């Protein structure tokens, strides 16, 4: 008799487990058996769908709700051909003793497109042999059949070989496109920051005629014009633009002017039609025609009318500054401005500065003042979440965005696969770990009178980013300066008024000042719509950012409430990830796959 060495029942085979689950999941969907779907999810499991099934960005929680949501889509979506993604091996993840899951990338098709997804399976119970059920499933639309992007094997030829009488050169064709010789663009994008550039690049690859209007003289000026010392606080692996990743020698942290130059190169290499020095004046929507009439002001002083089907507002989280009313400002002998108008502390050496607001800009600007020899006080109105750059990047982005990490498209899919409420839950633990790693830093801050928080329910950075777009500081030096008293802290107050020589705070105390910088943030993007398109349009939109009842972000990257009006934005990672889904929605509308309104 031969002794045979077999895997023990305790050994986990991620490929087999996920392959078997996916086979049953695919069969259930193809058979439109939503009851079977319910049994494949943990009772408290999650399904996130980015367009593939719902043509929207949606999150469903609980196996019953998930099954119901699938049921309502199957008759129109016709999902099929589910399979593990070739070349990407499923893996077992054990973040801590007692927690483990199997995760895998998968592919599928629908009636009109091809999708990619990511699943996480956990044992449905502690007994041996408990079935593996889905904790999280992400489904995303990757491309539309017949409208695949011209990349790699599908790339353009670049020249028509053979005889072509009266042939036009690439340059002549590019000039035609850039000057709209062919007529109105299908899409007008307002703003050429990362939001505008990424959506324009995605639409270009989908063959949707797009014009970007940018009021500044150069692409990238939205970054160039910000304060002199600005360097991205996110690392390079997180910040790639789609299609054209940063090269391998790119620094970990990108200075603003270097990013601005890259944006300019990006617009050129991607052949984006950007009109710089061009102001978007406003527009009206014709519900009947399903078109906008928008007016723009061109650099030569003339006004021009365009009739696009879609307007994408990519005016930035940092669109309309939030400037609190400040009585007495006209009496103030010094300089005061919003952070968006501030450049450098260099001309204030030996003098006194007050910086109001303790987010990223407030900290950076205060540090610059100090380093330029300015006596600086940071006014912290409420509380702030602080984490160190070194530990924060390793803990929060490690395994996804790091040197030698997965391809950025894979990392984006994996990050997107956690519904935002799950991110919030998971990050409670990560935030605690970080607070322990940063204990000395945080103790120093508290010792200096700085008030810390750790986000809603202790969920830390990401949820602050998603819900508020601020209220945190990734420390790159200012926190130590605060702890050492080099940047002074004035806490728990706001500015009551300015006087000739300084600031009077809401608690009645005063500080002399030669310059006051209001790092008080920006207004909701819906206010940009109000400024640009008027109340009628803005009132049809939902507020932008913040989570809806499902845990998805409101309004941005998805239908806004107003037909043909879209909000685009976010940091570089978000712009990269979600520009794809916004572009696919517009393309699907233009191809008649889904309705305009």
Residues that bind its own copies (CB under 8 A): 149-153, 155-159, 161-167, 169-171, 174, 205, 228-229, 231, 236, 243-244, 247-258, 261-262, 264-265, 268-269, 367-368, 370-373, 389-390, 403-404, 476-477, 480-481, 486
Nearer to its own copies, 151 or 181 (CB): 151
In the complex, least distance from residue 142 CB atom to its own copies, rounded to whole angstroms:
15
Nearer to its own copies, 347 or 509 (CB): 347
Nearest to 307 by CA among 469, 188, 485: 188
3-state secondary structure of 538: helix
Angle at which helix 572-590 crosses helix 194-205, to 10 degrees, equals 40
Nearer to its own copies, 264 or 438 (CB): 264
Tell me the C-alpha distance between 275 and 220, whole Å: 13
Chain mean position to CA 407: 18
Strands 495-499 and 502-505: antiparallel
In the complex, least distance from residue 261 CB atom to its own copies, rounded to whole angstroms:
5
In the complex, least distance from residue 370 CB atom to its own copies, rounded to whole angstroms:
8
Burial of 564 from C-beta contacts in 10 A (0-12 / 13-18 / 19+): buried
* Sheet architecture: strand order including 502-505: 495-499, 502-505, 510-512
Nearest to 13 by CA among 130, 91, 86: 91
In the complex, least distance from residue 350 CB atom to its own copies, rounded to whole angstroms:
13
Please list, in sequence order, all residues whose beta carbon lies within 8 angstroms of the beta carbon of residue 563, skipping any fewer than 6 positions away: 285, 287, 290, 596, 597
Tell me the C-alpha distance between 34 and 30, whole Å: 10
Nearest to 387 by CA among 493, 464, 494: 464
Nearer to its own copies, 155 or 500 (CB): 155
In the complex, least distance from residue 577 CB atom to its own copies, rounded to whole angstroms:
18
Nearest to 21 by CA among 140, 137, 142: 137
In the complex, least distance from residue 367 CB atom to its own copies, rounded to whole angstroms:
8
In the complex, least distance from residue 557 CB atom to its own copies, rounded to whole angstroms:
22
In the complex, least distance from residue 31 CB atom to its own copies, rounded to whole angstroms:
37
In the complex, least distance from residue 361 CB atom to its own copies, rounded to whole angstroms:
16
Nearer to its own copies, 198 or 459 (CB): 198
In the complex, least distance from residue 475 CB atom to its own copies, rounded to whole angstroms:
8
Nearer to its own copies, 32 or 258 (CB): 258
Tell me the C-alpha distance between 301 and 280, whole Å: 13
Category of 496 on φ-ψ map: left (φ > 0), alpha (ψ -120 to 50) or beta? alpha
In b/e form, how buried is each residue of 328-338, taking b as 16+ CB within 10 angstroms? eeeebebbbeb
Nearer to its own copies, 149 or 412 (CB): 149
In the complex, least distance from residue 201 CB atom to its own copies, rounded to whole angstroms:
9
In the complex, least distance from residue 402 CB atom to its own copies, rounded to whole angstroms:
10
In the complex, least distance from residue 205 CB atom to its own copies, rounded to whole angstroms:
6
Nearer to its own copies, 95 or 373 (CB): 373
Instruction: State the DSSP string of 203-240.
Output: HHHTT--EEEE-SSSSTTHHHHTS-TT-B-SS-HHHHP
Nearer to its own copies, 184 or 261 (CB): 261
Nearer to its own copies, 91 or 268 (CB): 268
Nearer to its own copies, 399 or 546 (CB): 399
Tell me the C-alpha distance between 136 and 119, whole Å: 6
CB 427 within 8 A of CB 463: yes
Helices (H), 97-213: 170-178, 194-205
Nearest to 243 by CA among 273, 206, 209: 206
Burial of 429 from C-beta contacts in 10 A (0-12 / 13-18 / 19+): middle
């Amino acid at each position: 008799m031969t002794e045979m060495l077999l895997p023990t029942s305790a050994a986990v085979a991620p490929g087999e487990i996920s392959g078997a689950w996916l086979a049953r999941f695919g069969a259930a969907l193809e058979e439109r058996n939503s009851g079977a779907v319910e049994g494949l999810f943990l009772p408290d499991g999650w399904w996130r769908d980015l367009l593939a099934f719902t043509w929207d960005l949606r999150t469903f929680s609980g196996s019953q709700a998930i099954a119901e949501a699938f049921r309502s889509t199957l008759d129109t979506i016709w999902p099929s051909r589910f399979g593990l993604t070739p070349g990407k091996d499923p893996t077992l993840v054990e973040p801590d003793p007692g927690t483990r899951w199997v995760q895998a990338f998968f592919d599928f098709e629908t009636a009109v497109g091809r999708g990619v997804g990511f699943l996480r399976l956990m044992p449905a119970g502690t007994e041996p042999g408990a079935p593996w059920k889905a904790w999280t499933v992400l489904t995303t639309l990757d491309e539309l059949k017949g409208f695949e992007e011209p990349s790699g094997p599908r790339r353009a030829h670049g020249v028509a070989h053979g005889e072509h009488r009266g042939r036009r050169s690439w340059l002549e064709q590019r000039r035609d496109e850039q000057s709209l010789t062919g007529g109105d663009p299908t899409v007008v994008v307002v703003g050429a920051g990362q939001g505008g550039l990424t959506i324009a690049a995605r639409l270009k690859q989908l063959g949707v005629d797009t014009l970007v209007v940018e009021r500044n003289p150069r692409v990238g000026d939205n970054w160039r014009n910000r304060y002199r010392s600005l360097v991205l606080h996110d690392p390079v692996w997180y910040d790639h633009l789609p299609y054209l990743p940063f090269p391998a020698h790119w620094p970990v942290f990108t200075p603003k002017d270097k990013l601005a130059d890259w944006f300019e190169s990006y617009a050129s290499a991607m052949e984006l039609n950007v009109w710089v020095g061009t102001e978007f004046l406003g527009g009206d929507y014709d519900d009947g025609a399903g078109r906008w009439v928008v007016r723009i002001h061109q650099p030569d002083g003339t006004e021009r009318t365009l009739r696009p089907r879609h307007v994408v507002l990519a005016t930035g989280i940092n669109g309309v500054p939030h400037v609190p009313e400040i009585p007495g400002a006209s009496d103030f002998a010094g300089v005061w401005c919003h952070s968006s108008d501030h450049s450098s502390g260099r001309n204030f050496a030996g003098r006194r500065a007050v910086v109001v607001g303790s987010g990223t800009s407030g900290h950076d600007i205060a540090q610059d003042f100090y380093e330029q020899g300015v006596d600086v006080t940071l006014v912290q109105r409420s509380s702030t979440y602080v984490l160190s750059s070194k530990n924060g990047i390793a803990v929060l982005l490690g395994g996804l965005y790091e040197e030698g990490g997965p391809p950025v498209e894979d990392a984006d899919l994996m990050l997107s696969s956690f519904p935002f409420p799950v991110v919030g839950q998971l990050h409670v633990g990560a935030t605690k770990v970080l607070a322990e790693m940063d204990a000395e830093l945080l103790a120093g801050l508290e010792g200096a009178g700085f008030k810390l928080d750790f986000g809603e329910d202790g969920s830390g950075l990401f949820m602050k980013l998603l819900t508020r777009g601020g209220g945190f500081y990734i420390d790159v030096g200012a926190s130590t300066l605060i702890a050492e008293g080099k940047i002074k802290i004035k806490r728990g107050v706001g500015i009551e008024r300015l006087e000739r020589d300084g600031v009077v705070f809401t608690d009645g105390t005063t500080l002399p000042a030669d310059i006051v910088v209001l790092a008080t943030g920006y207004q909701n993007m819906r206010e940009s719509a109000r400024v640009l398109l008027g109340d009628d349009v803005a009132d049809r939109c939902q507020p932008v950012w913040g989570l809806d009842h499902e845990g998805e972000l409101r309004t941005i990257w998805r239908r806004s409430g107003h037909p043909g009006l879209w909000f685009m934005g976010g940091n570089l990672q978000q712009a990269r990830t979600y520009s794809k889904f916004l572009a696919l929605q517009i393309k699907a509308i233009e191809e008649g796959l889904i309705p305009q309104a």
